[in-house]
Structure 1
Amino acid sequence: MKIAIIGTGNLGKSIAKGLITTNAITSLYLTKRNLDEIKEFGDYNSVFLTTDNMEAVKNSDILIFAVQPAHLEKILESIKHLLN
């Protein structure tokens, strides 16, 4: 499965760890405004770190939103043209 986690804070990190340890992914995109906070995931095969939500959406089939509710509408607005 090609999965993106939009917003890799505490919840997103936990989900990512579970997906990685169970080999449930063919690729995993993790987005975060500050990539230094998720750099520990950079050594895994097929895990991609980015600050660009659109890049993650374009390269994924499944999206997981792990963002604060106040930020969700703005994020959805910025990627809606990529959703089908």
Structure 2
Amino acid sequence: MDSMEPLNMRRKRWNLLGFVASVIITFGMMGLIIYGQEHKGQLEDVLSILVVILVVALFAIISYNVKRIIKNKLNNRAK
């Protein structure tokens, strides 16, 4: 990724990537639930791993947005 790339293009790319990942995870979880009716132990393990991944992603998104908001407020005060 080029550092000179417009910010809007990077945001659109990350939004698209997040949407595709959420669709894949949703269908994957549906498949695991259908398959997992006979394999409860494996299903619980995989779902717990997916939950951890989603929680980490959520905190990363929140952290990024908080940093961006603080940076914008500091830049606005400097003007």
Q: What's the TM-score once normalised by structure 2's chain length?
A: 0.25
- Structure with bigger gyration radius: 2
* Structure ranking higher in strand proportion: 1
* Structure ranking higher in helix proportion: 2
